[in-house]
C-alpha cells in the first residue's frame, strides 16, 4: 500500500503546469505538515481544500458510521485476551463461508491421510499448504507486500516457478491412491476429471483442471485477512458464484453405497448403549479439569441469577451433568424445576402446568396458556418471598424453539423472583431470540465446553442410524409373523415375493386384491375372499401392509418395509424351514 | 439421575418447608466464590448502593428525556377529548367526528411505552384493565361486537360518573365521558386487515364510543400509509410525535453516569469501547447498555478486593482506616502503586512498604488526588470537546464518548488526530472561537474547583481581549509577498521559488493581532490538555475505581456460540490442552474425540453425505488411532463398537444442527452448513 501511495505522489510531482495554487498547497503540505498517513487527516490540513469541497458537509453524517476496523478491534475476538472463549480468529470464516463443490473422495482421502500418519499431524489437504495459497494471492495482486515482491522479482520467472510448486503438491496425495481407488469404484455420477485424478495420468491434465478450482477454493479464506474494501467486494462476489455453482446442478456427487450392504446396519438404543459403555472415554483428566473449572462458577452464577440476570450455557458437549451438579450443590434448599427440553413430549403448557400445579399448588384449569402465564406472573408479583429456579436443558430443542414458547419462557424469566439457567446446543440457537426476547431473558452467556457425549439428549430423537420404532425392521417383522398361522405366513410371503419381483418396475404400486386372491387360491392358502380379507385386516393392524386405491379404483396392497429388509426376511425364513 | 424419565420432561423439586425458610442471602454468594474475600460484605453493599444510585439516575434521565413527549402527548389527548365534547353538542361537526384522533409515536426506545401506559392510566381515567375485562366478557358471549362494547362503555361511564371511585385524582368536570385510549404498541406487527377493519368499524361508532388511538411506530411514519389504504387512513386524524433518538439518549446517559464525579466507578477504555460498540453495532438498546454497565460494576466489585474503596471520598477515607493487613498488602501489590513507590525517596519507600499507618495516610491523599484528577479531567474533557466537536471532519470524533475513549487510551497529544485538530483550531474564525470560549467559560464556571478557577479567569481574559480586538479595528497590512504572481516556469524553478517563499514566510511571520491571540488560545488549550488529560493508568490507585476486564464483559454479553462450537470441534487442543491433541492449524490428530473426527470428515463433503462412506472413513481413522495404543486382534466386536461410536457422533452432529436426515438419496444426510474448507 505504502509503495503505491508514494508512487502516486511521485507522479503528481511530475505534472508540471498544474494550477499554481494546487501545486503550492500540495508541496507546502508535504513539507510543513507532519506526514500524516491517514487519508482523512491528510485532507484536513488544508483549509482551502475544505472550502473548495462542499461534500465534506454532506459527509458529516457518514462520520457516525463506524469503521469496520474499529469494530473488529474491539469486538472481534483476539486469542491472547479471552483465553476461555473459543476464539480462533479465523474460525468464523470457516463456519460462515459458502459451500463449494467438493469431490466425493475427499473424505476418504482425508481419512486415509489421518490414518496413515497417526502420530504426526498431516496437513489436511493440498490447500493448507502455504505455498499454494500464495499463488492465487500474488497473481491477483491482493496484498501489498506481494505487490512489491512482484515488482522486484522478474515476473515471468515467478510465474514459471509456481506451477512446479503446484506439481509437487499434487503428487503427494497420489501416494494414497491405492486406498482411494477402492472408494471410487462404486461412484455413479463422477465426472471424469476426478476419476483421472486418482489414476496416474499425465500431469498436465490434472494441472489444468486443478488450478482453477484450487484457486477458487483457496482464494476465499486467504482474502479474508486483507483489509482493503475492494478486495472484500471481489471476495464476496467470488463466494456468491461459488455458492451458485455448488447448488446449480442437481447432481449429487456421492457414492451409491447403502448401509444395507454393510452387515451391521441399524442398532437399537439398548445395544448402542451397551456397546458405547465399553468404550473408555479419552482425555478424562482434561475433561475433569474443565468441569472443575466450571464448577467454580456456581456461586457466581447464583449471585448473578439473584441479581436479575439469567444464565445461558453454550459450547460443545452435554451440559446436563454440569447443570445437574449445579442443582445438587447449590439449589438443594430452594424450589426448583428441572425441564428436559430434549424430551419429545415437552411443551410450554407442561412447564406452566408443573409450575401452577406443583409449585403453586393450584388445582384449577386455565382457558389458555396466556391466561395461565398471567396468573403465574401475578402470583409471583404479589408474593415477593416466592422464589423459583428454572433449569432448562436444551432451551433450543425442537419442542421449545418456537416463537410462542420462547416468548412465554422469556416472560417467565423476566420476573424478578424467577431465575432461569438454561443450556443451548444448536448451532443456530441464538437466532431464536430477537431483541424483544433477548431483553426479556436478560442473558449472561457462559461458555461451558464439556465434550461430554449427549447421551440423554440424543436417546429420544429418532436418530439416523438408530433403529426407529415407527418403522418395521427385521426383528419385529419376524416377531410378528411368528405369532401368525402358517397359512397367514404363506400369504404374507406371497406378497413379499411379488413385491420383490417387481423391484425394478418403477410404476409398481402394489398387488391388486383380486390378483392376490387368485394367487392365494392357487397356493391353497385361502378358500374365500372373506378369509383373505380377515387376514389382511390382521396384517393391517400390525402395520405389515398398506392398502392404496389405484387410479382405476382397485385396491392395491403394499408392504411398507424396505426391500432389503424383506429380502433378509425371506432368506431367514428359508434357512429356518 | 433424578431428572431423566421417558414419561415426563418437567421435574419439580420442593425442599421441605423448614429448610426453605432459611433462604441464603445474596451477599453470601458474593463472598463464597472467592476463597479469601476481603470485605466482601462491604463490597457487596457498596455495589448495591452504587447500582441503585445509577439505576435511579438513569430512570430519572429517561423520564426527563421523555417528559416533553409525554407532555405533548397528554396535551394532544386533552385536546382531542375536548374536541369530542364540542362536537357532540355541535351537530355540524358530525362529519369531522368520523375521524379518530390518532397519535403516531416514533420510538427508539422499547420500554418507553410501558411507562407511557402507566402514566396515562394515572392521567386519564381510562382503566385499561376494565376494558380488557369487558373484551373478555364479550368473548365469552362469543359475539364480540362494537355494540356491546359501546353499551359497556356507557354503562361504565354512567356507573362511574355518580360515584367517581377512582377518578378522584383527576376529577375535573372536564372528564365527564372520558375517551377510551387504545395503544397499539407495535404497529408494524399488526395484521393490516384487522387494523383496517377495526378502524373502519370504530369510526362508525365514534359518537357513542369515543376512541383515541396511539400507534407506536419503530420505523418511519410512512409505514402508516403503507399499512393502511387511503380510505382507512383518511378516517384518522393523525398527529406525529417523535421521541429522542437513541444515540442522543446514549450520550446523555454516558454524560450523567460516567463523565461525572458523582459516581466513583469508572470504565476503562476497552470496556467502554465494547459497550458502545455493542450498542452501535448490535442493538441500539440503552437497556442493554445499562445491563453491561451493571455487569461491569458487579464484576468490578466481585473480582477486585480493593473495590471496597470505590465509594465517595469521605466514606472511602473512613474505610481506609479499617483496612486489614491483607488489604494493605493488596494495595502494595497494585502495579500503579508500585510505580508510585518507586518514584519516591528511599526513606519514604521503606515507610510505605512497612508502616501500615503511614501507608494508610498516603492512600488517603492518593485517593484524594485521584478524585481531584477526575473532576479536573472531566472539565477539561468537556472543554476540549467543545473545541473539537465543531471541526470539519471531526478528527477527534463528533461525540464526547469518542474523545473520551481516545483520552482514556493514551496520551491524546501524541495522536495524529490531535495534531491535525490543533492545526484546524489555528484556523478558526473569530466568532467561532468566541462562542466556543464562551461555552468553555460556562463549563468552568459551573464548578467551584480551586485549581481550575484560574482557568475560567483566563478564558474570561481571552474573551475580553477578543472583544477589544473588535473595537480596535486594527489595520491589517496585506503582505504583498504572497500575491506575487507566479509565472510559468519549469518544475525545478517552481520548486525553488516555493522553497524560498516558504523560508520567507517563516522568517517574517507577520501575524495579525488576532492570529497571535488565537495562537495563544490554542496553546492554552493544549497546555490544559497536556496537564489534565493524562490517561488514568498514570494515576496511582486507579485500579480501585477502573474496571478493566473487558474480555469478561464480551464473553458474557456478546458471546459467539457458533465460533465456540467450531473451535471445540476443529481444534480440541484449545480446550483439552493435551499434548496428543496439539496440531497445526487446520489439522486434527486422529486421537481427537469422536465427534471432532466425524466433523472434520464431514467438512470434506458437499451438500449430501453418504453415511457408508462417512462411517468407513471414520472407522479408518479411529482404527489407526487405536492400533497405536494396543495392537489387539481385530474382532467383530471392535468393529461394532466403532460403528456405535460413529452413530453417536453422527447423532450428536445432528443435534448440533450440522446435518439432517434427507430423503433425496438413500442413506444420505444433508449438510446444513456451508463451506468448511
Chain A, window 321-360: residues with a beta carbon less than 8 angstroms from a chain B beta carbon: 324, 327, 331-341, 343, 345-346, 350-351, 353-355, 358-359
Which range is least confidently modeled, A109-123, A429-443, A541-555, B373-387? A109-123
Candidate from B11, B111, B294 with C-beta closest to A338? B11
Q: Which residue has the higher pLDDT, A70 or B391?
A: B391
**Is B627 in contact with A118 (Cβ distance < 8 A)?**
yes
Can you tell me the distance from the alpha carbon of B19 to that of A428, in angstroms, rounded to the nearest whole number? Answer: 41
Q: Is residue B468 over pLDDT 60? A: yes
Half-sphere exposure of B170 (CA within 13 A, CB side): 14
Residue A272 CA from chain centroid, whole number: 24
Q: Is residue B322 over pLDDT 90? A: no
User: Across residues B134-157, what is the average pLDDT?
Assistant: 53
Q: The C-alpha cell of B595 is what?
A: 465427534
Is A366 part of the contact surface with chain B (CB cutoff 8 Å)?
no
Task: Enumerate the residues of chain A whose CB falls inside 8 A of the CB of residue B494.
Answer: 16, 23
Q: What is the pLDDT of residue B147?
A: 65
Q: Indicate which of A44, A58, A70, A285 best probes the interface with B, i.e. most B CBs within 10 Å of its own CB.
A: A44
Is B395 part of the contact surface with chain A (CB cutoff 8 Å)?
yes
Q: What is the pLDDT of residue A461?
A: 56
Is B555 part of the contact surface with chain A (CB cutoff 8 Å)?
yes
Helix (H, G, I), strand (E, B), or coil: what is residue A313?
Answer: strand
Helix (H, G, I), strand (E, B), or coil: what is residue B106?
Answer: strand
Can you tell me the distance from the alpha carbon of A257 to that of B665, in angstroms, rounded to the nearest whole number? Answer: 10
Candidate from A115, A271, A333 with C-beta closest to B15? A333
Q: Is A19 exposed, middle or buried (0-12, 13-18, 19+ CB in 10 A)?
A: exposed
DSSP assignment of A93-161: HHHHSPP----TTHHHHHHHHHHHSSSSPPPSSGGG-HHHHHHHHHHHT-SHHHHHHHHHS-HHHHHHH
Chain A, window 278-307: residues with a beta carbon less than 8 angstroms from a chain B beta carbon: 278-279, 282-283, 286-287, 289-290, 296-297, 299-300, 302-304, 306-307
Site of grid cell 490428530: B589
Q: What is the pLDDT of residue B296?
A: 93
Q: What is the pLDDT of residue B216?
A: 75
Which range is least confidently modeled, B284-288, B444-448, B571-575, B652-656? B444-448
Angle at A285 between CA A280 and CA A287, to 5 degrees: 85
| Residue B106 banded pLDDT, cuts 50, 70, 90 | low
Site of grid cell 489421518: A114
Q: What is the dihedral of CA A545, A549, A550, A555, to 10 degrees?
A: 60
Is B558 part of the contact surface with chain A (CB cutoff 8 Å)?
yes
**Is A261 in contact with B558 (Cβ distance < 8 A)?**
no
Provide the mean pLDDT of chain B: 77
Cα diameter, chain A: 115
Q: Is residue B82 over pLDDT 80? A: no
**Is B561 in contact with A463 (Cβ distance < 8 A)?**
no
Q: Which residue has the higher pLDDT, B112 or A338?
A: A338
Q: Is residue B127 over pLDDT 60? A: no
Q: What is the pLDDT of residue B70?
A: 77
Candidate from A75, A324, A457 with C-beta closest to B554? A75
User: Measuring CA to CA, which residue among B223, B228, B252 is closest to residue B240?
Assistant: B223
Q: Give the helix/strand (H/E) hosting B22.
A: none
Q: Is residue B295 over pLDDT 90? A: yes
Helix (H, G, I), strand (E, B), or coil: what is residue A316?
Answer: coil
Percent of chain A residues past pLDDT 70, beyond the cut: 53
User: Across residues B650-660, what is the average pLDDT?
Assistant: 88
Count of CB atoms within 10 A of residue B261's CB? Answer: 18
Is B630 part of the contact surface with chain A (CB cutoff 8 Å)?
no
Q: Is residue B607 over pLDDT 60? A: yes
B54, B297 Cβ separation under 8 angstroms: yes
Provide the mean pLDDT of chain A: 67
Candidate from B287, B560, B572 with C-beta closest to A439? B287
A181, A141 Cβ separation under 8 angstroms: no
Instruction: Go through chain B and tell me how many residues it has.
Output: 677
Q: The C-alpha cell of A505 is what?
A: 418396475
Candidate from A101, A243, A257 with C-beta closest to B613? A257
Count of CB atoms within 10 A of residue B264's CB? Answer: 21
Q: Is residue A431 over pLDDT 80? A: yes
B309, B367 Cβ separation under 8 angstroms: yes
| Residue B489 banded pLDDT, cuts 50, 70, 90 | low
Residue of B nearest to A45 (CA): B420
Which range is least confidently modeled, A94-103, B224-233, B254-263, B370-379? A94-103
Which range is least confidently modeled, A521-525, B33-37, B66-70, B169-173? B169-173
Percent of chain B residues past pLDDT 70, beyond the cut: 74
Q: What is the pLDDT of residue A86?
A: 40
Q: Is residue B239 over pLDDT 60? A: yes
A66, B398 Cβ separation under 8 angstroms: no
**Is A86 in contact with B574 (Cβ distance < 8 A)?**
yes
Give the list of residues 6+ apart from residue B384 with CB closer than 8 angstroms, or none.
Answer: B396, B403, B525, B528, B529, B533
Percent of chain B residues past pLDDT 90, beyond the cut: 9
Is B102 part of the contact surface with chain A (CB cutoff 8 Å)?
no
Tell me the pLDDT tens digit for each residue of A234-269.
Answer: 556 677 777 676 666 555 566 777 666 665 556 667
**Is B613 in contact with A107 (Cβ distance < 8 A)?**
yes
Count of CB atoms within 10 A of residue A479's CB? Answer: 11
Can you tell me the distance from the alpha carbon of B81 to that of B98, in angstroms, rounded to the nearest whole number? Answer: 14
Helix (H, G, I), strand (E, B), or coil: what is residue A561?
Answer: coil
**Is A20 in contact with B486 (Cβ distance < 8 A)?**
yes
Can you tell me the distance from the alpha carbon of B639 to that of A344, in angstroms, rounded to the nearest whole number? Answer: 31
Q: Is residue B52 over pLDDT 50? A: yes
Candidate from B564, B583, B672 with C-beta closest to A85? B564
Is A68 part of the contact surface with chain B (CB cutoff 8 Å)?
no
Is B609 part of the contact surface with chain A (CB cutoff 8 Å)?
yes
| Residue B157 banded pLDDT, cuts 50, 70, 90 | low
Candidate from A253, A276, A456 with C-beta closest to B4? A456
Is B152 part of the contact surface with chain A (CB cutoff 8 Å)?
no
Helix (H, G, I), strand (E, B), or coil: what is residue B464?
Answer: helix
Is B33 part of the contact surface with chain A (CB cutoff 8 Å)?
yes
Task: Enumerate the residues of chain B whose CB falls inside 8 A of the CB of residue A359.
Answer: 12, 14
A341, A397 Cβ separation under 8 angstroms: yes
User: Across residues B397-425, what is the average pLDDT?
Assistant: 89
Could you say which DSSP state residue A260 is in? G
Within B252-341, strands assigned E span 266-267
User: Across residues B232-245, what is the average pLDDT?
Assistant: 79
User: Across residues B163-189, what is the average pLDDT?
Assistant: 53
Candidate from B7, B554, B644 with C-beta closest to A82? B554
Helix (H, G, I), strand (E, B), or coil: what is residue A536?
Answer: helix
Q: Which residue has the higher pLDDT, A256 or B455?
A: B455
Task: Enumerate the residues of chain A whose CB falls inside 8 A of the CB of residue B395.
Answer: 40-41, 44
User: Across residues B169-185, what is the average pLDDT?
Assistant: 55
Q: In what order do the strands lie in the sheet with A555-558?
A: A511-512, A555-558, A546-549
Tell me the pLDDT tens digit for each residue of A71-113.
Answer: 655 655 443 344 344 443 444 444 444 444 455 566 777 777 7
Q: Which residue has the higher pLDDT, A473 or B69?
A: B69
Q: The C-alpha cell of A528 is what?
A: 374365500
**Is B590 in contact with A118 (Cβ distance < 8 A)?**
yes
Which range is least confidently modeled, B153-157, B354-358, B392-396? B153-157
Q: Is residue A486 over pLDDT 80? A: yes
User: Across residues B384-392, what is the average pLDDT?
Assistant: 87
Closest approach of A533 to chain B, Cα-based (Å): 33
Tell me the pLDDT tens digit for each residue of A195-220.
Answer: 334 343 334 433 444 444 444 433 33
**Is A333 in contact with B560 (Cβ distance < 8 A)?**
no
Site of grid cell 423448614: B18
Amino acid at each position: 500500500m505504502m509503495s503505491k501511495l508514494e508512487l502516486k505522489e511521485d507522479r503528481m510531482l511530475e505534472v508540471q503546469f498544474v494550477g499554481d495554487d494546487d501545486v503550492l498547497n500540495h508541496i507546502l503540505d508535504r513539507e510543513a505538515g507532519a506526514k500524516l498517513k491517514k487519508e482523512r487527516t491528510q485532507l484536513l490540513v488544508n483549509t482551502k481544500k475544505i472550502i473548495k469541497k462542499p461534500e465534506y458537509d454532506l459527509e458529516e453524517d457518514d462520520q457516525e458510521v463506524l469503521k469496520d476496523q474499529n469494530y473488529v478491534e474491539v469486538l472481534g475476538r483476539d486469542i491472547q485476551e479471552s483465553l476461555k472463549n473459543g476464539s480462533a480468529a479465523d474460525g468464523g470464516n470457516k463456519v460462515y463461508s459458502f459451500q463449494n463443490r467438493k469431490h466425493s473422495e475427499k473424505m476418504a482421502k482425508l481419512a486415509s491421510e489421518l490414518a496413515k500418519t497417526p502420530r504426526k499431524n498431516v496437513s489436511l489437504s493440498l490447500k493448507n499448504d502455504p505455498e499454494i495459497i500464495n499463488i492465487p494471492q500474488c497473481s491477483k495482486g491482493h496484498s501489498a507486500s506481494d505487490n512489491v515482491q512482484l515488482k522486484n522479482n522478474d515476473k515471468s520467472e515467478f510465474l514459471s516457478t509456481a506451477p512446479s510448486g503446484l506439481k509437487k503438491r499434487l503428487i503427494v496425495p497420489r501416494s494414497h491412491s491405492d486406498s482411494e481407488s477402492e472408494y471410487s469404484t462404486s461412484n455413479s455420477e463422477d465426472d471424469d476429471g476426478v476419476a483421472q485424478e486418482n489414476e496416474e495420468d499425465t500431469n498436465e491434465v490434472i494441472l489444468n483442471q486443478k488450478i482453477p478450482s484450487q484457486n477458487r477454493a483457496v482464494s476465499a479464506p486467504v482474502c479474508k485477512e486483507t483489509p482493503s474494501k475492494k478486495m472484500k467486494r471481489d471476495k464476496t462476489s467470488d463466494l456468491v458464484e461459488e455458492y451458485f455453482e455448488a447448488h446449480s446442478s442437481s447432481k449429487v456427487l456421492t457414492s451409491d453405497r447403502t448401509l444395507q450392504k454393510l452387515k451391521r446396519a441399524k442398532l437399537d438404543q439398548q445395544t448402542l448403549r451397551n456397546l458405547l459403555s465399553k468404550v473408555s472415554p479419552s482425555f478424562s483428566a482434561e475433561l475433569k479439569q474443565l468441569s472443575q473449572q466450571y464448577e467454580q462458577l456456581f456461586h457466581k452464577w447464583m449471585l448473578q441469577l439473584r441479581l436479575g440476570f439469567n444464565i445461558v450455557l453454550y459450547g460443545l458437549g452435554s451440559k446436563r451433568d454440569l447443570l445437574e451438579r449445579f442443582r445438587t450443590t447449590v439449589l438443594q434448599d430452594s424450589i426448583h424445576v428441572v425441564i428436559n427440553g430434549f424430551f419429545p413430549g415437552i411443551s410450554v403448557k407442561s412447564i406452566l402446568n408443573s409450575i401452577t400445579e406443583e409449585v403453586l399448588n393450584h388445582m384449577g384449569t386455565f382457558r389458555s396458556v396466556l391466561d395461565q402465564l398471567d396468573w403465574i406472573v401475578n402470583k409471583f408479583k404479589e408474593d415477593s418471598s416466592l422464589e423459583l429456579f428454572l433449569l432448562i436443558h436444551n432451551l433450543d430443542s425442537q419442542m421449545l424453539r418456537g416463537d410462542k414458547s420462547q416468548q412465554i419462557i422469556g416472560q417467565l424469566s423476566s420476573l424478578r423472583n424467577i431465575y432461569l439457567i438454561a443450556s443451548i446446543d444448536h448451532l443456530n440457537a441464538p437466532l431464536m431470540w430477537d431483541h424483544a426476547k433477548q431483553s426479556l431473558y436478560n442473558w449472561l452467556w457462559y461458555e461451558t465446553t464439556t465434550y461430554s457425549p449427549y447421551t440423554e439428549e440424543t436417546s429420544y430423537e429418532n436418530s439416523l442410524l438408530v433403529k426407529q420404532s415407527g418403522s418395521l425392521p427385521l426383528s419385529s417383522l419376524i416377531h410378528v409373523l411368528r405369532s401368525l398361522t402358517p397359512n397367514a405366513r404363506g400369504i404374507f410371503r406371497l406378497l413379499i415375493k411379488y413385491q420383490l419381483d417387481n423391484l425394478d418396475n418403477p410404476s409398481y404400486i402394489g398387488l391388486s386384491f383380486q390378483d392376490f386372491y387368485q394367487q392365494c387360491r392357487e397356493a391353497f392358502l385361502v378358500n374365500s375372499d372373506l378369509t383373505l380379507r380377515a387376514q389382511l385386516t390382521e396384517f393391517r393392524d400390525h402395520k405389515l401392509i398398506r392398502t392404496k386405491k389405484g387410479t382405476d379404483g382397485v385396491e392395491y396392497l403394499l408392504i411398507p418395509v424396505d426391500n432389503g429388509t424383506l429380502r433378509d426376511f425371506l432368506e431367514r425364513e428359508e434357512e429356518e424351514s | 439421575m433424578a431428572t431423566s424419565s421417558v414419561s415426563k420432561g418437567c421435574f419439580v423439586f420442593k425442599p421441605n418447608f423448614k429448610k426453605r425458610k432459611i433462604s441464603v442471602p445474596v451477599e453470601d454468594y458474593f463472598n463464597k466464590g472467592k476463597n479469601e474475600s476481603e470485605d466482601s460484605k462491604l463490597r457487596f453493599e457498596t455495589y448495591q448502593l452504587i447500582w441503585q444510585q445509577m439505576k435511579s439516575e438513569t430512570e430519572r434521565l429517561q423520564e426527563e428525556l421523555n417528559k416533553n413527549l409525554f407532555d405533548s402527548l397528554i396535551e394532544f389527548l386533552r385536546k382531542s377529548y375536548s374536541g369530542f365534547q364540542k362536537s357532540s353538542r355541535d351537530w355540524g361537526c358530525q362529519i369531522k367526528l368520523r375521524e379518530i384522533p390518532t397519535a403516531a409515536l416514533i420510538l427508539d426506545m422499547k420500554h418507553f411505552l410501558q411507562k407511557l401506559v402507566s402514566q396515562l392510566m394515572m392521567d386519564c381515567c381510562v382503566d385499561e384493565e376494565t376494558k380488557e375485562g369487558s373484551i373478555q366478557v364479550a368473548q365469552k358471549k362469543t359475539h364480540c361486537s362494537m355494540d356491546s362494547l359501546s353499551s359497556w362503555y356507557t354503562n361504565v361511564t354512567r356507573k362511574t360518573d355518580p360515584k367517581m371511585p377512582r377518578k378522584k385524582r383527576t376529577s375535573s368536570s372536564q372528564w365527564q365521558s372520558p375517551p377510551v385510549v387504545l395503544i397499539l404498541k407495535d404497529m408494524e406487527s399488526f395484521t393490516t386487515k384487522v387494523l383496517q377493519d377495526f378502524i373502519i368499524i370504530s369510526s362508525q361508532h365514534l359518537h357513542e364510543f369515543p376512541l383515541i388511538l396511539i400507534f407506536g411506530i419503530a420505523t418511519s411514519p410512512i409505514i402508516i400509509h403503507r399499512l393502511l389504504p387511503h380510505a382507512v387512513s383518511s378516517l384518522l386524524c393523525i398527529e406525529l410525535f417523535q421521541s429522542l433518538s437513541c444515540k442522543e439518549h446514549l450520550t446523555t446517559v454516558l454524560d450523567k453516569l460516567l463523565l461525572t464525579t458523582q459516581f466513583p466507578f469508572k470504565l476503562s477504555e476497552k470496556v467502554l469501547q465494547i459497550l458502545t460498540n455493542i450498542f452501535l453495532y448490535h442493538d441500539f438498546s440503552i437497556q442493554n447498555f445499562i445491563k453491561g454497565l451493571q455487569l461491569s460494576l458487579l464484576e468490578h466489585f466481585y473480582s477486585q478486593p480493593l473495590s471496597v474503596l470505590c465509594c465517595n471520598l469521605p466514606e472511602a477515607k473512613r474505610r481506609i482506616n479499617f483496612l486489614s493487613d491483607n488489604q494493605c498488602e493488596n494495595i502494595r501489590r497494585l502495579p500503579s502503586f508500585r510505580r508510585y513507590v518507586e518514584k519516591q525517596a528511599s526513606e519514604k519507600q521503606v515507610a510505605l512498604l512497612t508502616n501500615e499507618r503511614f501507608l494508610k495516610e498516603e492512600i488517603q491523599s492518593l485517593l484524594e488526588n485521584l478524585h481531584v484528577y477526575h473532576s479536573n479531567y472531566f472539565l477539561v474533557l468537556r472543554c476540549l470537546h467543545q473545541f473539537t466537536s465543531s471541526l470539519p471532519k471531526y478528527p477527534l470524533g463528533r461525540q464526547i464518548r469518542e474523545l473520551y475513549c481516545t483520552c482514556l487510551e493514551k496520551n491524546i497529544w501524541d495522536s495524529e488526530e490531535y495534531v491535525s485538530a490543533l492545526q484546524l483550531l489555528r484556523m478558526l474564525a473569530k466568532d467561532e472561537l468566541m462562542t466556543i470560549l464562551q461555552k468553555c467559560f460556562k463549563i468552568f464556571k459551573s464548578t467551584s474547583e480551586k485549581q481550575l478557577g484560574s482557568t475560567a479567569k483566563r478564558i474570561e481574559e481571552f474573551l475580553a481581549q477578543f472583544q477589544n480586538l473588535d473595537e480596535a479595528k486594527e489595520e491589517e497590512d496585506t503582505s504583498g509577498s504572497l500575491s506575487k504572481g507566479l509565472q510559468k516556469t519549469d518544475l525545478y524553478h517552481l520548486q525553488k521559488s516555493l522553497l524560498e517563499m516558504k523560508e520567507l514566510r517563516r522568517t517574517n511571520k507577520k501575524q495579525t493581532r488576532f492570529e497571535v491571540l488565537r495562537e495563544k488560545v490554542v496553546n492554552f488549550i493544549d497546555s490544559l490538555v497536556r496537564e489534565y488529560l493524562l490517561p488514568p493508568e498514570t494515576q496511582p490507585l486507579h485500579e480501585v475505581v477502573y474496571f478493566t476486564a473487558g474480555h469478561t464483559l464480551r464473553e458474557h454479553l456478546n458471546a459467539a456460540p457458533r465460533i465456540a462450537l467450531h473451535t471445540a470441534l476443529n481444534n480440541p487442543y484449545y480446550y483439552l490442552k493435551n499434548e496428543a491433541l496439539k496440531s497445526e492449524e487446520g489439522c486434527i490428530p486422529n486421537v481427537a474425540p469422536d465427534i471432532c473426527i466425524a466433523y472434520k470428515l464431514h467438512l470434506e463433503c458437499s451438500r449430501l453425505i453418504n453415511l457408508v462412506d462417512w462411517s468407513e472413513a471414520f472407522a479408518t481413522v479411529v482404527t489407526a488411532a487405536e492400533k497405536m495404543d494396543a495392537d489387539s486382534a481385530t474382532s467383530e466386536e471392535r468393529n461394532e463398537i466403532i460403528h456405535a461410536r460413529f452413530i453417536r457422533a453422527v447423532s450428536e452432529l445432528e443435534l448440533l444442527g450440522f446435518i439432517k436426515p434427507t430423503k433425496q438419496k438413500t442413506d444420505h444426510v444433508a449438510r446444513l452448513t456451508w463451506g468448511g474448507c
